[in-house]
Amino acid sequence: MRKTYRAWPPVIMQFLLLAASSFFLGPGSTVSAADQPIDKNHVSCVMCHRTSTPEYYDAAMKAGDLDMSAVCMDCHHYSENHHPVNIVPEKTIPDEFPLYDGQMKCLTCHEAHGNQKRSYPKLLRGAPYKDLRDMCFKCHPTDQYTAIDPHTMFDADGKIKQVNGEPVCLVCHAKVPDQSNPKEQITFKADVAFLCWRCHPPMPDNFFAGHFLVKPSRKTARYMKKYGRDNNVTLPLLNRNRITCSTCHNPHERGIIQNAAVAAGADSRARLRLSKSAICSGCHPY
C-alpha cells in the first residue's frame, strides 16, 4: 500500500532551520550582515572601516593615518589615469564636493556607497549628468578655457606661444617635453581624457564604450606596433597600455614635434593620426 506523508507546517520548518544554524555556528557565534559579501567587488565593510557595523554618517577608516585615497586604490588602480588626488585646490570648490584635510581625495567626487536613494554609474556626486563635463565645470569654469586654443602653439613670430606667462605646452603637460631625449617620460597635468574634455565632448556612447580606456589584446598590440613601423606613425597608449583620445588624435600643431612618426596627423582634419579611411586599420586588420 502506498504511504502518504503530510508536509510539516511552515512554522516548524523555520524552527528547524534556525536550530540547525545554531548547531553549525557553535555557541556564541554570530554572523554580521556586514561580514557577508555585499556585491561582486566588495567583500565587507571592514575592507575600508575599522568596524564591521559602521554608522552611515560617522564611519572611521581602518587607521587614522591611512590615506583615504590609498584605500580606494587598493582595488581601483587609477593613480596614473585619473583626476589628480591628494592636492589642495587653488580655488574654493562647491560644498557638495567635500575636502579631506583640505585636500581632494577620491571621495571628493565619488560617493563610496552611492546615494542612499539612488545610485549612478561611477558613483559620481550630484549625478545624473546629461553631459559628464557638467560635473567638471562645477569647479573648472568654462570661460577659463574658451579663450585658449592649445592646438595653436606658435605665435606670430614662429615661437612657442605663451599662455598666462607659460609655454602653451603647460596647458596640458606637467612639464615641457624634452624632444632631445626620446626616452623621456611624458607627463600630464591629469588624465589625457580629462584634459580633452575641458573643450571637447566625449565620443558617442556606443563608440566610446568600445574604445576608451580599453586595453588592446596582445595580438592587437603587436599588430599596432607593426602597423606603426610600416606606416611611420605612432599610436600612443596610456600607462597600462590603454586607449585614450590621443591614441587616434594628435593635438599638436604641425612643426612642434620633430619625430615624424609621433608628429603624424598634426593639423590634419579632426587631427587624426591617420586618414579617416585608414584610422581604424591602425588597430583592426581587414
Do residues 235 and 153 both lie within one domain? Answer: yes
Averaged pLDDT for residues 58-73: 67
Res. 4 pLDDT band, cuts 50 70 90: very low
Are 183 and 115 found together in one domain? no
Higher pLDDT, 89 or 64: 89
pLDDT at position 42 over 60: no
Query: If residue 167 lies in a helix (H) or strand (E), which one and from where to where?
Result: strand 166-167
Q: Which of 203, 200, 235 shows the shortest CA–CA distance to 221?
A: 235
Evaluate if residue 51 carries a pLDDT over 80.
Answer: no
Read off the pLDDT of each residue in 69-88 and give the average, rounded to a whole number.
Answer: 74
Q: Give domain status of residue 11, yes or no.
A: no
**How many structural domains comprise the chain?**
2
pLDDT one-digit tens code per residue, 142-174 = 777 667 889 999 999 999 999 989 999 999 999
Residue type, 111: E
Share of the chain above pLDDT 90, in %: 38
pLDDT one-digit tens code per residue, 203-260: 877 888 889 889 999 999 999 999 999 999 999 998 788 999 999 999 999 999 999 9
Same-domain status, 119 and 155? no
- Answer yes or no: is 21 within a domain: no
Q: Is residue 189 domain-shared with residue 226, that is, in the same domain?
A: yes
The domain boundary, picked from 68, 98, 130, lies at: 130
Nearest to 212 by CA among 158, 139, 132, 127: 132
The residue among 92, 89, 123 whose CA lies nearest residue 104 is: 89
CA diameter of the chain: 108
pLDDT of residue 118: 62
Residue 228 belongs to what H/E stretch?
Answer: helix 218-231
**Do 120 and 156 reside in the same domain of the chain?**
no
For residues 258-276, average pLDDT: 94
- Top pLDDT among 55 and 181 is at 181
Together in a domain, 83 and 200 = no
Task: Judge if the upstream peptide bond of residue 236 is cis by omega within 30 degrees of 0.
Answer: no
More confident residue, 259 or 27: 259
Percent of the chain with pLDDT over 70: 73
Weakest mean pLDDT among 32-36, 73-77, 116-120, 192-196: 32-36
**Helix%, strand%, coil% for the chain, nearest 5:** 30, 5, 60
What is the distance of C-alpha 261 from the center of its chain? 28
Please tell me whether residues 149 and 263 are part of one structural domain: yes
- Better-scored residue on pLDDT, 38 or 200: 200
Identify the pLDDT of residue 24.
37
* pLDDT-wise least confident of 15-19, 134-138, 150-154: 15-19
Which of the residue ranges 33-42, 68-77, 158-167, 188-197 has the most confident prediction, judged by mean pLDDT? 158-167
Question: Would you state the pLDDT for residue 32?
Answer: 35
Judgement on whether residues 153 and 248 belong to the same structural domain of the protein: yes
Does the residue 80 lie in any domain? yes
Together in a domain, 88 and 182? no
Q: Do residue 199 and residue 259 come from a single domain? A: yes
- Residue 161 CA, distance from chain mean position: 31
Residue 16 CB: number of other CB atoms within 10 A?
Answer: 11
In Å, what is the CA distance from 169 to each residue of 163, 196, 205, 271?
9, 14, 30, 17
Averaged pLDDT of the chain: 78
Question: Does 10 reside within a domain?
Answer: no
Same-domain status, 94 and 171: no
Res 73 pLDDT > 80: no
* Residue 67 domain boundaries: 43-48+60-130
Q: Looking at 103, 130, 157, which one is the last position of a domain?
A: 130
* pLDDT at res. 272: 97
Does residue 105 contact residue 69 with C-beta atoms inside 8 Å?
yes
